[in-house]
Structure 1
Amino acid sequence: MAFGTIATWRMAAEGLDQAYKMLESNQSAADSVEKLINEVEAYPYYKSVGYGGLPNEEGVVQMDAAFMNGDTLAQGSVAAIENVLHAVSVARSLSNEHFNSFRVGRGATKYAMKHGFKMTNMLTDRAKARWERRLAEIREKDLNPYDGHDTIGAITLDKSGSMAAATSTSGLFMKKDGRIGDSPLSGSGFYVDSEVGGAAATGLGEDIMKGCLSYEIVKLMERGKTPQQACDEAVYPFIEKLKKRYGKAGEISLVAMNNKGEWGVATNVEFTFCVANQNKEPRILMANLGKNSTTKIEPVTQEWLDAYEKRIHAPIN
């Protein structure tokens, strides 16, 4: 019986392990994807999601998140929400609302407070130190302030055939107050249909949303493409179009899984992701742009993993 999950970046590994065990024991796609994202949101050393996430230019951590039920197509999203430990759980709760299911700013935060979600100061000492260092670098070296925008995005498929998708991010480092990227936007940052499959994005939201790439990948799968074919055919031509017509393209990476547990990836950067299905247990893989607009995928090395752990725990000087 098919089941599986795929998620963006190495930071998803521990959460994906939990989700895989839940799916293996017949738990739902919705519960599993929420658990996967929650694990990332709560870990203070992942600087682009949740607790300890990257603050905006005013030093405030504002988070975007989304949840989608692939059976009903119900969706919930929050954007620029503050002081909430698990933004994705708020988004899932909102997916049960027919009206007002996408809340932003104060409205999103008030909803979370009213409905008993855990509130906390999301700006850790480590995140504050990183923000202060960036302010100094901007003043002294005239650097571009924007650095870092990795989203955790995930798709799950349970043994009953139900699918779900979710995303969470603190967005672009040093972003303007209230800036929103692609992550909470249906069709851009995420999309899932249990009769077909799902996709989720990470990278520069302002460019990803120009192509509605998650929806495009799902539509290609619906027309009979494998997840890998759909990712390649949606992402790489769009990047070239963007370069030609807009003049440039930022970082763009997507993951996808269909309702058979098959998966695919496309990226224009060095991109790690985590995946598991009924055939293989959880693993971390590396994707890069290959030849002729295809994707090269290989296992990460232990050397890379060791360097990653050292990097994310390194002191902020």
Structure 2
Amino acid sequence: MKINTKHYYVSLFLILTAFGCKTNEKEGETAVIKEEKEIKKSVKPIVISTWNHGVAANDEAWKILSKGGNALDAVEQGVRVTEADPKNQSVGIGGFPDREGNVTLDACIMDHNSNCGAVSFLQHIKHPISVARKVMEETPHVMLTGQGALQFALDQGFEKENLLTPETKKAYEEWLQKSNYKPVINIENHDTISMLALDEDGNISGACTTSGAAWKMHGRVGDSPIIGAGLFLDNEVGAAAATGLGEAVIRTAGSAMVVELMRQGKSPAEACKEIVERIYNKHKNHKDMEYLQVGFIALNKNGEYGGYSLRSGFNYAVNDIEKGNRLEDAPFKMAWEN
């Protein structure tokens, strides 16, 4: 049977195209070039958290992740280390108080099933992140606030204690002499702790906890307890978390937008950079701009991570099986000099 060569090659081309291959026909010969798709090796487990205090927090989270534990337990236990450190004056016990001398705390937590819990304007409880997890697991709600959050925490067995340390009390008394509200950028290189983790099962969880802006108005709540602002994740895509001036993050739904950009194919680093630049463009003529600092961290399902900040000085801690626990400086849009 005589074969029609032209028809043969056309048929072969269609078959190969259907299977994702490329063809190159030259002088009656068909060379089949298989389309190579880059397969990225998944790095897991991995944990990433904001600022230099994230190193100690990562160590605690790694104790769980390295033994096959789940990401939710890891992020909760990790940030509890920072909450319990009185030397850290932006999270938990020893956090700077508001204008009335009260330490008020915000926190949220989210798991791979999109379950989430949060507390805001919580006083007298050292570990708001654990109260937030209880809100997630024991109530039909996402957020409890103020006196209601405190009463819930006490009902759940948390102990009431004084969170104002002698050091922060002294700092408050000194602040009262001028009563000037002007957040200082990066002076002590800490603000909030946000943590994201990917466990061996490929599931992501995140946590965020803070005492908020020093000398804030009584009742002020920032981005840290707000799902979609201070923290957001989609287990099919990845997770993101924020640090810095919460008002700017809230105005742009920062963390949710970072995740959506990763869904569209951007890397964690690219997504963080784009949202920081968006924040800059929306705030460059804003009254907050003179003291505005915002940073994001992000982690995707492959264990790829990244971070970016508006001004210099932001760093984050990363711990994985390949390189261990280390601190990395985030790229930034603007230099900052104290």
- In the superposition, the TM-score normalised over structure 1's length comes to 0.86
Contact 1:218–1:230 under 8 Å retained in 2? yes
1:144-223 equivalences in 2 (<5 Å): 144=181, 146-147=183-184, 150-223=191-264
Give 1:277 deviation, angstroms.
Answer: 2.3
Q: Which residue of 2 aligns with 1:301?
A: none
Contact 2:181–2:215 under 8 Å retained in 1? no
1:238-274 C-alpha deviation (Å, 9 max, x unpaired): 3123225x46532110101111111010101210210
Give the stretch that moved more between structures: 163-172 or 226-235.
Answer: 226-235
Of 51, 57, 63, the residue aligned with 2:99 is 57
Q: Which residue of 2 aligns with 1:6?
A: 48
Q: Which runs of 5+ in 2 are unaligned?
A: 1-42
1:118-151 C-alpha deviation (Å, 9 max, x unpaired): 321111111111111111243xxxx435457811
Q: Does 2:272 match 1:231?
A: yes
Of 108, 117, 142, the residue aligned with 1:101 is 142
User: Structure 2 CA distance, aligned partners of 1:105 and 1:236?
Assistant: 34
Q: Which runs of 5+ in 1 are unaligned?
A: 296-317
User: Structure 2 CA distance, aligned partners of 1:51 and 1:238?
Assistant: 31
CA distance 1:170–1:290, change in 2 (3 Å): closer
Give 1:208 deviation, angstroms.
Answer: 1.1
Q: 3-state SS of the aligned residue for 2:137?
A: coil
Q: 3-state SS of the aligned residue for 1:209?
A: helix
User: Structure 2 CA distance, aligned partners of 1:290 and 1:53?
Assistant: 28
Give the stretch that moved more between structures: 112-121 or 84-93.
Answer: 112-121
Q: Which residue of 1 aligns with 2:40?
A: none
Contact 2:110–2:206 under 8 Å retained in 1? yes
User: Structure 2 CA distance, aligned partners of 1:76 and 1:13?
Assistant: 25
User: Structure 2 CA distance, aligned partners of 1:225 and 1:25?
Assistant: 31
Q: Which residue of 2 aligns with 1:273?
A: 316
Q: Which has more radius of gyration?
A: 2
User: Structure 2 CA distance, aligned partners of 1:174 and 1:267?
Assistant: 23
User: Structure 2 CA distance, aligned partners of 1:200 and 1:216?
Assistant: 10
Give 1:168 deviation, angstroms.
Answer: 0.6
Q: CA RMSD of the aligned region, Å?
A: 1.8
Q: Which residue of 2 aligns with 1:28?
A: 70
Letter in 2 for 1:157: L
Of 316, 325, 330, the residue aligned with 1:282 is 325
User: Structure 1 CA distance, aligned partners of 2:277 and 2:158?
Assistant: 40
Letter in 1 for 2:78: L
How many residues are aligned here?
A: 286
Q: Which residue of 2 aligns with 1:37?
A: 79
1:15-41 C-alpha deviation (Å, 9 max, x unpaired): 111212321110110010001110000
* Moved >3 Å (runs of 4+): 143-149, 246-249
Contact 2:237–2:262 under 8 Å retained in 1? yes
